[in-house]
Amino acid sequence: MDLHHPILREFPEHRETIRRLQGGDDHFRNIYDEYHRLDDEIYRIEEEIDFATDQEIEELKMRRAKLKDNIYRLIRRAPSGGSPAGLGTGAVG
């Protein structure tokens, strides 16, 4: 079972939009990077490389899920094609 959940694997149909946002939207890139740091932390705990209580791992997974939801919202709001200008406002709805 693969324990990693990279965004490009979670949303393969949005690969182009994700790459465009990574290159031009600081807010998106920060959330994306935080998501992947958290995903790696969860992986290390699940593989027993690092340790955490059940409550800690559940809290980490909840944070990861919220970040994933925010990332998906930003992807869906992104204009198709072209420049991501104006998307780095920090507003997440």
Entry pTM: 0.80
pLDDT at position 81 is 66
Side-chain half-sphere CA neighbours of 10 within 13 A = 18
Alpha carbon distance 34, 66 (integer Å) = 11
What parts of the chain have a pLDDT lower than 50?
Answer: 83-93
Alpha carbon distance 89, 93 (integer Å) = 12
